[in-house]
Structures are given as C-alpha cells and as structure tokens.
C-alpha cells in the first residue's frame, strides 16, 4: 500500500469533504455515528379552556303587597266642621279608647258618631276627641286630623298619643273580630307612618283613672296579642290607608245605616 504522505493526507480529506462532508469519512467500529440532534421543543398550543369565573348569586327578597285599610272620610258620615283651631303634636305612642256606650245595632254607628262630635264640641273642643273611630262591623271613620292632639275628660295629656276609638262599651259587650282586625290594621298603619314602636300599644286606662277601653278589649292589649299582630304586619310590609271620598263615602254610610 502506498504510504500516506502529508500531502496525500490533505488530498484525501479534501476529497471526503467534497464527496459529502465529514459523515463520509471512514470511522472505526468504536466511533458510533452521531445521533440526530433533538428537535427544539415546540411552544404549547394556546389553551382553549375558558378561565373559571366567580358568579355572584344575589337574592332578592320580595315583600308581599301592603295591606289596604279603607277609611270613610269625614264628609261621608256627616261630620261638622271644626269649631276652633287645632293644636299640633308629634305622635309617639298608640292608645286605644272606647265610647263606653253600648251599641246594639251597627246601623246606629254613623249617627252615634255624629252625636259624639256634637257633644264634644259643646264642651268647647274643636272636634271629636279621637283621630279615627271603628264600628262593630270594622268600618273605619276619619275623625279629627291625626296631626292634632286629642281631647279627654280625664287627667292625662293626650298630646303625643294616636287615638283610635271603638264604638261600643267593652266592659259590657265583647268586641267583634272585624272590629279588632280593623283596630290592628289601623295601629299598624300608624306605627309605620309615625315610626312608633308597636310595644307602645296601650289603653286609656294606662294613663288615667278610667276603665277605658273596657275590660274585654284591654285584655288583648295587656297580654301583648294586639301589639304582636301590629309588629307582624310591619314586618310584612305594613298597611296603607285608602280613603273613600265623595259619593262613594256617602253611599257606604247609607249602606251601613240601612
């Protein structure tokens, strides 16, 4: 074999590169072929997962509609005008009265109311002593403005008191369910209207030497049952008044008296 001179060595190397690069150069069995370079890592594809979101769940509390209490305006039951100027006051408590005259027939209720007003004005008061009156069938009558303090034959100052009166004598007769229902609705309206605590529901006898509003009504005040019913109505969105006016009020009173 021809000896490999330095010139021949470089000649053979140049030939190898020209024939295909270093990979064509003869290798020994101990010189393994180079492994392929790993492919570069491809970037991860964009995620198609929608990021989780926090959903706020809101709860809407729907209160029941307000209960409506019908009131017959003054002109409807034949009230006379006030005979003097009213005073003014801020209502702070709820105080129940009765007229202390037995009412056997509810047909007489509007006439009784006119009689009470006439008598009170004869005493020098400007009007009927109370803010509202309730007959035995639960009809509610507008009396003096609730912005004016009431009047009394007893020794307490009615300023600051909301004064509903029940027509009848409740030491001698029992109040009807309709009458007590209207009383509770009226007290609940007043409590909401004037921001008064239902715990202030009381009777005339709590402030003066009298049996008013009668043992059979006062029992439901003293045991807390009327105040509890008033509080429940306030929690259930309260009460609003609907006034019967004009011909509608006159017609209602005529129906009561017929």
- Distances in Å between the Cα of 258 and the Cα atoms of 27, 107, 108, 178 are 132, 7, 9, 19
Q: Is residue 33 part of a domain?
A: no
Is the pLDDT confidence value at 38 over 60?
A: no
Distance in angstroms (rounded) separating the CA atoms of residues 37 and 29: 21
Q: Which residue has the higher pLDDT, 20 or 113?
A: 113
* Lowest-pLDDT range of 35-49, 144-158, 175-189: 35-49
Query: Which tokens is 119 given?
Result: 């008598």
Is the pLDDT confidence value at 58 over 90?
A: no
Q: Is residue 228 part of a domain?
A: yes
Q: Is residue 81 part of a domain?
A: yes
Q: What would the mean pLDDT of 36-48 be, rounded to a whole number? A: 51
- DSSP-derived secondary structure letter, 229: H
Q: Is residue 12 part of a domain?
A: no
Is the pLDDT confidence value at 219 over 70?
A: yes
Q: Which residue has the higher pLDDT, 24 or 196?
A: 196
Task: Give percent of the chain with pLDDT exceeding 90.
Answer: 74
One-character DSSP codes across 47-83: P-PPPP-PPPP--PPPPPPPEEEEEE-HHHHTPPPPS
Q: Which residue has the higher pLDDT, 117 or 46?
A: 117
One-character DSSP codes across 94-162: EEEEE--S--S-GGGHHHHHHHHHHHHHHTT-SS-SSSEEE-TT--EEE-S-TTS----SSSS--TTEE
Q: Is residue 179 part of a domain?
A: yes
**Structural domain containing residue 249:** 67-257
- DSSP-derived secondary structure letter, 237: T
Is the pLDDT confidence value at 184 over 90?
A: yes
Q: Is residue 22 part of a domain?
A: no
Distance in angstroms (rounded) separating the CA atoms of residues 228 and 219: 14
Is pTM, for the whole model, over 0.85? no
Burial of 241 (0-12, 13-18, 19+ CB in 10 A): middle
Q: Is residue 248 part of a domain?
A: yes
Residue for token pair 């009458």 = 179
Direct distance between the N- and C-terminal alpha carbons of the chain, in angstroms, rounded to an integer: 150
Q: Mean pLDDT score of the chain, rounded to an integer? A: 85
Distance in angstroms (rounded) separating the CA atoms of residues 256 and 253: 5
Q: What band does 69 get if pLDDT is binned at 50, 70 and 90?
A: very high
Alpha carbon dihedral 217, 222, 225, 229, in 10-degree steps, equals: 80
Query: Which tokens is 252 given?
Result: 């209602």
The CATH number given to whatever domain includes residue 204 is: 3.40.80.10
Q: What would the mean pLDDT of 59-66 be, rounded to a whole number? A: 65
The domain tally of the chain equals 1
Q: Is residue 186 part of a domain?
A: yes
What is the reported pLDDT for 8? 53
Q: Per residue in 52-69, is it b (16+ CB within 10 Å) or e — as a string?
A: eeeeeeeeeeeeeeeeeb
Is the pLDDT confidence value at 106 over 70?
A: yes
Segment (H or E) for 189: helix 177-194
Distance in angstroms (rounded) separating the CA atoms of residues 119 and 122: 5
Residue 216 near residue 235, CB atoms below 8 Å: no
What is the reported pLDDT for 30? 40
């Amino acid at each position: 074999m021809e000896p490999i001179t330095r010139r021949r060595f470089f000649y053979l190397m140049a030939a190898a590169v020209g024939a295909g690069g270093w990979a064509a150069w003869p290798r020994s069995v101990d010189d393994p072929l180079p492994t392929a370079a790993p492919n570069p890592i491809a970037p991860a594809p964009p995620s198609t997962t929608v990021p989780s979101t926090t959903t706020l769940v809101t709860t809407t509390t729907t209160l029941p509609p307000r209960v409506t209490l019908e009131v017959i305006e003054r002109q409807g039951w034949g009230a006379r005008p006030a005979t003097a100027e009213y005073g003014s006051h801020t209502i702070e408590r709820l105080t129940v009265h009765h007229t202390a005259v037995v009412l056997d027939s509810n047909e007489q209720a509007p006439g009784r109311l006119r009689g009470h007003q006439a008598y009170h004005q004869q005493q020098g008061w400007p009007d009927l002593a109370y803010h509202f009156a309730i007959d035995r069938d639960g009809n509610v009558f507008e009396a003096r403005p609730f912005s004016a303090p009431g009047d009394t034959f007893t020794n307490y100052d009615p300023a600051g008191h909301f004064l509903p009166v029940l027509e009848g004598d409740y030491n001698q007769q029992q109040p009807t369910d309709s009458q007590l229902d209207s009383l509770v609705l009226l007290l609940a309206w007043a409590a909401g209207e004037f921001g008064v605590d239902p715990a202030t529901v009381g009777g005339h006898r709590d402030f003066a030497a009298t049996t008013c509003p009668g043992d059979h009504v006062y029992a439901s005040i003293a045991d807390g049952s009327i105040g509890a019913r008033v509080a429940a109505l306030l929690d259930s969105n309260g009460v609003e008044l609907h006034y019967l006016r004009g011909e509608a009020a006159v017609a209602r009173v005529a129906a009561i008296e017929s």
